[in-house]
Chains A and B, each alone.
Chain A
Amino acid sequence: MASLAPALEMRGMTKLFAGNTVLNGVSLSAAAGEVCALVGENGAGKSTLMKVLAGVHQPDAGEILLDGQTVRFHRPADALAHGVAMIYQELSLAPHLTVAENIFLGREPISFAPLGIVDRREMNKRAGRMLAGYGFKIDPRAPVSRLSAANRQLVEIARATLEAKRVLVMDEPTSSLTAHETEELFRLIRDLKARGLAIIYISHRLEELKRIADRLTILRDGQVVYAGVWGELSHAEIIRHMAGRELKEIFPARQTQKGAVRLRVEHLTRAGKFADVSFEARAGEVVGIAGLAGAGRTELVEAIFGAVPADSGEIHLDGARLNVRQPDRAVARGLGLLTEDRKRTGLCLNLPLARNLTLANLRALVRGWRLERRREREAAREYIERLHIRPPDPDKTVGRLSGGNQQKVLLARWLFAASQVFLLDEPTRGVDVAARIEIYRAINKLTEAGAAVVMVSSDLPELLGMADRILVMRRGRLVVELDARQTTQEEILRYAAVEEGAQAELEVAVQHFELTSHS
């Protein structure tokens, strides 16, 4: 069945959202039996490109060809009908159905055709055979809600292999898998290649890509900046293409004097999440917190902020005890939390930019009972200017801004609230490079003005570039404090991951951070 045309070809894909060009003439092709790696920074357009391919979004220009034939996908079902399947990053299984029911959803084996009765036994048998064949140890009769995140991911993969006749898109499929499960997945990918599928594999773990990729496409700011055979570029060159600049340009230099202790945390404990955490942050200082996913970093800052209070331990702000059960007290005392999940706990998406920006400090705009809206707009304009928020429109619905600009609005919220201690949880996740640099500059200005910053990040170069000290958390405990000028990514990872017999975990972690290691 070898044909001359590639199994999949996307030509000149262009997509605009609310006037922003998210994809600008992107072309991508993948031949049958090939793995095409797709990499790029967050916000580069990878997910949008794949959603266009899956029929979720309609392109504003460009065409999709399958085996040389132009196709148009108006909805996800059209893509599936053409054998184009996708494994989404966000899981999309029905939690109350069983594994087998999820895998066969919409194509259940039927016994007694006229009545359409689902042959449950046959379905379980086939699902079981399929999972075992892939090397996944999952009971087909188990309800999905009882599975671990990793096993859900595997079920999702199994389902997609049933749907994919020509093209399979995998978006960060290993993010929740262990090293062993990743091995099983790679074996499956080799099988799928042999079956003649074209696979598009999105990942930022270059070590992983090295083992399976045949081709490489790099996206930056909605454009293809490199397309070629895997192996032509070194890892460092790939990173440079993705970022569009050298790392030392990204982290601006800063001169600050360390002052008095602003935040002191003593023996903070929340059962099952973190235990006996003590540290302090001084005026003018950036304290980084590193750790693997699940180490308790987000839970720690949420406890300091009072969003999900700790069970025991003490928090002191500027020398006085802070007893928080809800964030309102923390906010009133000058604490600000830039949340990890800006859509869930950060923004009121359908409200205007200005209202999101001023929400934490309306007190400053009130005279008597009256909220002075003119002053609100002035304040919003001032921060739009300072952080270069685009578009510079205080009335713009905040949900229509790009991720980077949304993040700047949230940072501006705490600047406007005149916070003195900033808890930043993954401050640049899903943020493009230009916005990142502006956020870093804003952080530096804060510390120069005497604020204390606690920064949780999974981006090690970011921690090394921004923090003065780096605290490493492992399984809910603070294991070491490192001087950011002296330490290395390897050292941080050793502390973050190593525990007796946990070598495999370390390997995954190293792969995870490999991308960002430079030199």
Chain B
Amino acid sequence: MSDWIKRFLPFVSLLALCVVIAVLEPRFLSAANLASVARQTAVITIIAMGMTLVMVSGGIDLSVGSMMALAGVVGAFALANGAPVVAGVAASVLAGAACGLLNGGAITALRIPPFIVTLGAMGVYRGVALLITDGKAVVGLPPRFGYLAEGNLFGLVPVPLLVVVLVALATQFLLVSTRTGRYCYAIGSNVEAARYAGVRVAHYRIIFFVLLGALTGLAGAIESARLVTGQPTAGEGYELRVIAAVVIGGGSLSGGQGSVAGTIIGALIMGVLANGANLLGISSFTQQIVIGAVIVLAVTFDAFQRRRLETAAL
């Protein structure tokens, strides 16, 4: 019963939110507006898919905003120097994966909590991005690159939305239908129990950070395509929006819980809130207050659930 509420509360909240906004402002439901919501939330959602893996396994990554900027400028350099679009995107993905490997490797090899390692990495990656660009945007990207962010497939489906759908399907498959996904939940639920069951904990934790890095790199490429420049200052504060999406969607900071569907809904709740507030002429200052309150409510609900389970476990 309570599991049922836990599963569907985020979805019901999103639906209610959409209904309220649509009643107050019918323009919300226009195809153009919905497409723009999809574009605006795509970058956050793609990173949040990777963050779901890391958080379900009991980790966290605060460096994704900086990492996205670094991966974005690396890809932009490649493109500015004449690399084809595919190679530029690949460069961003690889740069992100390398950052993820560094994070995961440091966490498991040095046995330092992910929070601390990635807090440090947040500064390092941002610094590197600024250093290699001298703090200036990377320009001279091929106009075709913009298709990745602004294009429509068949003149209808925004390309970033398509990317989100593919990434989400792949993450869902990984998390629900593979051994790796099973271990992800087990490690997050009780890392020692997983180790004693023969799970190669360090190996898998690194994999999750690398996957998050690769997805963050992909998001960085889309962000560069949107801006048609490589911005070393891109993605500031994204880490908190990404983590908020996971948490609102039922993920737990202490691991073992979370789902792809939940995280998508979490990202959409924040995206729809921002979009609806804009349409209704509510100031961005007020928006911050509302989003902050939503995060606290979601976490409160999570903590409440957890306590109930613990009492019942006695």
Question: Which residues of A are interface residues toward B (Cβ below 8 A)?
Answer: 17-18, 48, 51, 57, 305, 307, 326-328, 330-332, 337, 339, 344-351, 355, 359-360, 362-363, 366, 369-371, 373, 397, 399-400, 413, 417
Interface pair B197/A400, CB less than 8 Å apart:
no
In the bound complex, residues from chain A placing their C-beta under 8 Å from that of B185 are: 348, 351, 355
* A355: contacting residue among B182, B192, B198, B200, CB under 8 A: B182
CB distance from A348 to the nearest CB of B (A): 4
Chain A CB within 8 A of B37 CB:
no
In the bound complex, residues from chain A placing their C-beta under 8 Å from that of B199 are: 328, 359
Q: Shortest 4 CB-CB distances between A and B: which pairs?
A: A331-B198, A348-B189, A399-B313, A359-B197
Interface size class of B (residues with CB under 8 A): 20 to 34
Interface pair B200/A326, CB less than 8 Å apart:
yes
In the bound complex, residues from chain B placing their C-beta under 8 Å from that of A344 are: 190, 192-193
Interface pair A371/B195, CB less than 8 Å apart:
no
* B195: contacting residue among A327, A351, A400, CB under 8 A: A327
Q: How far does the alpha carbon of A328 sit from the alpha carbon of B194 in the complex, in Å?
A: 10
CB distance from A51 to the nearest CB of B (A): 8
Are A350 and B189 also in contact (CB < 8 A) when A328-B200, A339-B196 are?
yes
Chain A CB within 8 A of B66 CB:
no
Interface pair A346/B193, CB less than 8 Å apart:
yes
In the bound complex, residues from chain A placing their C-beta under 8 Å from that of B196 are: 305, 307, 327, 337, 339, 345-346
Are A362 and B194 also in contact (CB < 8 A) when A18-B312, A349-B189 are?
no
Q: How far does the alpha carbon of A347 sit from the alpha carbon of B194 in the complex, in Å?
A: 8
Q: Is the interface of B mostly helix, strand, loop or mixed?
A: helix
Chain A CB within 8 A of B298 CB:
no
Q: How far does the alpha carbon of A135 sit from the alpha carbon of B162 in the complex, in Å?
A: 75
* B182: contacting residue among A332, A346, A359, CB under 8 A: A359
Interface pair A360/B197, CB less than 8 Å apart:
yes
New A-B contacts (9) at CB < 8 Å, excluding given A328-B199, A347-B190 = A17-B312, A344-B190, A344-B193, A355-B185, A359-B186, A371-B177, A371-B178, A371-B179, A399-B312
Q: How far does the alpha carbon of A370 sit from the alpha carbon of B178 in the complex, in Å?
A: 5
Chain A CB within 8 A of B309 CB:
yes
Q: How far does the alpha carbon of A362 sit from the alpha carbon of B309 in the complex, in Å?
A: 26
Interface pair A48/B197, CB less than 8 Å apart:
no
Q: Give a binary string over B274-314; 1 marks a CB under 8 Å from any A CB, 0 the rest.
A: 00000000000000000000000000000000000110111
CB distance from B254 to the nearest CB of A (A): 10
Q: Give a binary string over B254-279; 1 marks a CB under 8 Å from any A CB, 0 the rest.
A: 00110000000000000000000000
In the bound complex, residues from chain B placing their C-beta under 8 Å from that of A349 are: 189-190, 309, 313
Are A363 and B179 also in contact (CB < 8 A) when A332-B198, A345-B192, A348-B256 are?
yes
Interface pair B182/A371, CB less than 8 Å apart:
yes
Interface pair B177/A370, CB less than 8 Å apart:
yes
Q: How far does the alpha carbon of A400 sit from the alpha carbon of B312 in the complex, in Å?
A: 6
In the bound complex, residues from chain B placing their C-beta under 8 Å from that of A337 are: 196
Q: How far does the alpha carbon of A300 sit from the alpha carbon of B310 in the complex, in Å?
A: 32
CB distance from B188 to the nearest CB of A (A): 8
